[in-house]
């Protein structure tokens, strides 16, 4: 009879680490229209940093994030989203309502929102 409590304790112990690791993988929620990168899913392909290395940067894990949204154009955000091999860049809405070609850029960006 002593083995029954041990068997019951093992599943509970093995279930706890899985539950504890789940929140680590979740991306924080972003306000609607805000540009962001799903940084934990970045494959370090260098596409975005080659487009604009002031707007896009790598963290300590060599995964991309938006370092300075004002360091580039909406066109660069859309181009980076289109170039991203793992589709983790979301350009959001443009900051500059007068950016040239905005209508076309918004259509191109729809696939990445």
CATH code of the domain containing 57: 3.30.70.20
37: helix, strand or coil? strand
* CA gap 57, 62 in Å, rounded: 9
pLDDT per residue as tens digits for the range 69-98:
999 999 999 999 999 999 999 999 999 999
The pLDDT > 90 percentage for the chain reads 70
90: helix, strand or coil? strand
* CA gap 57, 109 in Å, rounded: 21
Name the domain count of the chain. 1
Tell me the two tokens of residue 91.
């350009």
Residue 57 maps to a domain: yes
Average pLDDT over residues 8-13: 41
Cβ-Cβ contacts under 8 Å for 34 (sequence gap 6 or more):
92, 93
Global pTM reads: 0.74
Residue 92 maps to a domain: yes
Residue 4 maps to a domain: no
pLDDT at 59: 97
Residue 1 maps to a domain: no
pLDDT per residue as tens digits for the range 30-54:
788 999 999 999 999 999 999 999 9
Residue 63 maps to a domain: yes
Tell me the two tokens of residue 30.
């972003």
Single out the residue of 57, 65, 69 nearest to residue 95, CA to CA. Answer: 69
The domain of 63 spans: 29-112
* CA gap 56, 37 in Å, rounded: 9
Tell me the two tokens of residue 27.
């991306």
């Amino acid at each position: 009879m002593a083995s029954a409590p041990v068997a019951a304790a093992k599943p509970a112990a093995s279930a706890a680490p899985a539950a504890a690791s789940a929140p680590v993988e979740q991306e924080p929620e972003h306000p609607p229209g805000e540009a962001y990168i799903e940084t934990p899913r970045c494959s370090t392909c260098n596409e975005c940093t080659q487009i604009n290395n002031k707007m896009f940067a790598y963290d300590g894990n060599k995964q991309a994030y938006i370092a300075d949204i004002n360091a580039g154009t909406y066109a660069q955000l859309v181009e980076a989203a289109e170039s991203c091999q793992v589709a983790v860049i979301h350009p959001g809405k443009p900051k500059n309502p007068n950016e040239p070609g905005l209508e076309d850029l918004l259509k191109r960006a729809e696939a990445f929102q």
